[in-house]
Amino acid sequence: MITEVIRSLFLEGKLLIKKIRNYLIIVFVAGFAMLSVQAFQILSYSRVNYEGSADAVFVLGAAAYGKNPSPVFRERINHAMNIYLARHCRYIILTGGKKFAEDLGEAVVARDYLVKNGIPVSDILLETSSNNTYENFLFSLPVISSRNINSIIIVSDPYHMKRASMIADDFRIVNYSSPTPTTMFNSFKRKMPFLLNEIYNIYEYRIFRIANDLKIKYEIK
């Protein structure tokens, strides 16, 4: 009797372990597939480069060190400046706020850099309150509206472009992609962390967007 009970428990345990193993395999395969699809989308979009015109070139903020833009930020500013000098836009929109109270702020540092390189300050528009990509667009809406800007060329690092365009689309901003032709993320060792971070950020943004949509839906009810 005891032997049969033990045997029954053993068989049930084996069956449970098998089920758990199968569920884990399904979760792993599904997760890998989702990551692969998102990585493919990011990589594909990183190669999209718009060469036409728009009302403004829109520079996503990045780190600034004192009065100087970081190497990543400098490449974005230089690329935007080249687009402007090629007469593909009327304005340059610079985004990015302060990390600390004593900082100049990313957009201000970028403006000073452009002015030193001969760009008229009257053609430079600033958004100085944001601390992330979503806020870059959100806090730029009044700037875009005030100058009747109907279309923008987004400038950032290649792997950042997919998420940036997604956010611009959600704000119903007509946007085109123009990634920086040069970037410090030029080796496999540097590309992989950036790519994985962008995959995470995109899924995080999608969850945020769904939660926000549900919140609005229930508030309306």
Q: Apex CA 195: angle with CA 98 and CA 50, to 5°?
A: 80
Q: Which residue has the higher pLDDT, 86 or 40?
A: 86
Domain residues of the chain, as ranges?
A: 1-45, 56-177
Average pLDDT over residues 36-63: 92
Return the CATH superfamily for domain 56-177. Answer: HUPs (3.40.50.620)
**Total residue count of the chain as it appears in this document:** 221
pLDDT confidence of residue 83: 97
Average pLDDT over residues 98-119: 90
User: Quick check: 52 pLDDT over 80?
Assistant: yes
Q: How many whole angstroms from its chain centre is CA 19?
A: 39
User: Quick check: 90 pLDDT over 80?
Assistant: yes
**Tokens 């030193």 map to which residue?**
116
Letter string b/e over residues 128-166, b meaning 16 or more CB atoms within 10 A of that residue's CB: bbbeebbbbbbbbeebbeeeebebbbbbbbbbbbbbbbb
Average pLDDT over residues 183-196: 73
Q: Specify the range with the lowest mean pLDDT, choosing from 28-37, 72-81, 141-150, 197-206.
A: 28-37
Q: How many CB atoms lie within 10 A of CB 96?
A: 29
